[in-house]
A and B are shown apart, each in its own frame.
Chain A
Amino acid sequence: MRPQPSPPWIVRLSVRIYRGLLRGTGPSHYFHAYGALTLQLFRECCLDAYRERGPLGVLSLWLPSFSDAIAQMVLEFLCQQQYTSQPRVSVGTVVSALALEWFSAPTDFVRSLMRPFMSHVWHPLTRELSRPLISASRLSSPTNMRFERQFLHWRGPHGWRSHRGRKPYERGIDLRAFQGMPALFLRSKARAAADIERVMKFHPLDVMLTQTIKAEAYRGKHLHFAADVKVDHVAPQAGLVIDVLLNPPEKLSERWHQNHPQSVRQEQLAQGTHDWTHCDITISVPANAQSIDFGLILHGAGQIWLANPQLEVREQDVMQPA
């Protein structure tokens, strides 16, 4: 790279403000993937303006560039929300999501101060407020099963907690991964052994990439989920999953929660590395089922692909052991 002189102070200041706007208003996945490129382009625009008109030229960039950055980052955030299982997003959900995104960025110290508020007030409140909306907008049947509309209705990675604002899991689509067909993938960003240990230390939970449908049409039936799956350096396990969320009784009691599971789950897991394999699982949907999640699950680190998923009712199927 050619040695470059230090940019003028007005350019350095502008870039610093712009970086703050990108980080503060946009989703962190955008900043990690495209933040440096966006900042570099803005810096070059500032340098052009400085060469043409001096500091006033740079100042004239502030309003259009800063408003553009804020608008695009908010749009990116809303676009990210659209790819969840809730296609219709209310203003309240957007505000909640934006607030949650803000809260996911601060340091561990600030996070530790906010933890009681988050766990006792914020999370229960947002969960209760969003429950009717989520229920009303859930799909009745599987949709976008060939990923022709990218991630639409595929939700995740979910089930993990961010560590220092970093997101250790990501999703994607390999356009011709399986016999010329696209495949959805879920992977941990950590690949080296030490990094995998770190992932397992901070993210011992199950990370899932799933689609959610209403359970009404499937209650009391055997639901069969089949797909072609490939895994790469998975440790300890990854595979297919069906998770059926159950409706609690009208009057909840702590005793009921202790004695009854809130969901039933079936998994078909693999480990290590192997090529495409046809996998399937069958689950009996209970009469009090509320919703059904099906897709990929990753315990730990590695990468798993999903292609050609099919979900169908089998009236007289033989149940597989859990």
Chain B
Amino acid sequence: MPYPAPNPEEKVPLTPAVFHILLSLADGERHGYAIRRDIAAHTDGKLRLGPATLYRSIKHLVEDGLIEESDVRPDPALDDERRHYYRLTDFGRQVMVAEVRRLERVLALARTRRGLRGLLAMPSSEGRN
């Protein structure tokens, strides 16, 4: 009996930490420190993952098959060779797409609400600054 492929929809919704880790890895391999800095940068410093949160999330993402450790080791002259690099798996990419589509549906739903429609049409306070 063939084993059914895992369903990405079963993994969503993702927690903010997991979502941003996967988002950070969407462009390529990164190590823990680079992931943390990337997340802080693309959330304007609003989400700063603690080291334990980050590596515990990475541990569970590896166990769930969403990311994997890369065999690539940096040049010791350029980088700390103790660093471990991680990358998205195909399944992780599918989960990421499923989550982004879910967020799109939530956003579309929010835009249909009369109480929010006007406010969502205005530029955000961050955009005005």
Q: A2-B77, A150-B64 are in contact. Are A68 and B52 (CB under 8 A)?
A: yes
CA A40 to CA B33, docked complex, whole Å: 9
Most buried by B among A68, A146, A182: A68
CA A148 to CA B5, docked complex, whole Å: 9
Q: A44-B33, A148-B6 are in contact. Are A68 and B53 (CB under 8 A)?
A: yes
Q: Select B51's contact among A1, A38, A148, beta carbons within 8 Å.
A: A38
* B83 interfacial contact with A, CB 8 Å: yes
Interchain nearest-CB distance for A81 vs B (Å): 15
Q: Which residues of A contact B56 (CB under 8 A)?
A: 30, 34, 72, 75-76
Q: Which residues of A contact B23 (CB under 8 A)?
A: none
Is A37 a contact of B55 with CB atoms below 8 Å? Answer: yes
CA A148 to CA B1, docked complex, whole Å: 15
Query: Contact mask B44-64 → A, CB, 8 Å, 1/0?
Result: 000010111111101110011
Is B52 a contact of A1 with CB atoms below 8 Å? Answer: no
* B80 interfacial contact with A, CB 8 Å: yes
CA A2 to CA B32, docked complex, whole Å: 19
User: How many residues on B have C-beta within 8 angstroms of the other chain's C-beta atoms?
Assistant: 29
CA A148 to CA B4, docked complex, whole Å: 9
Query: Contact mask A12-48 → B, CB, 8 Å, 1/0?
Result: 0000001000100000001001101111111011000
Q: Which residues of A contact B48 (CB under 8 A)?
A: 64
Is A40 a contact of B83 with CB atoms below 8 Å? Answer: yes
Interchain nearest-CB distance for A11 vs B (Å): 14
Is B80 a contact of A41 with CB atoms below 8 Å? Answer: no
Is A72 a contact of B3 with CB atoms below 8 Å? Answer: no
Is B63 a contact of A37 with CB atoms below 8 Å? Answer: no
Most buried by A among B6, B53, B60, B82: B53
Is A72 a contact of B53 with CB atoms below 8 Å? Answer: yes
Q: What would 30 A/B residue contacts be, using CB atoms closer than 8 Å?
A: A2-B77, A2-B80, A30-B56, A33-B59, A34-B55, A34-B56, A37-B32, A38-B51, A38-B52, A38-B54, A38-B55, A41-B33, A41-B54, A41-B55, A65-B51, A68-B50, A68-B51, A68-B53, A69-B51, A72-B53, A76-B56, A76-B59, A146-B4, A173-B63, A179-B2, A179-B3, A180-B2, A181-B2, A181-B3, A308-B1
B: residues with CB less than 8 A from A are: 1-4, 6, 32-33, 36, 48, 50-56, 58-60, 63-65, 76-77, 80-84
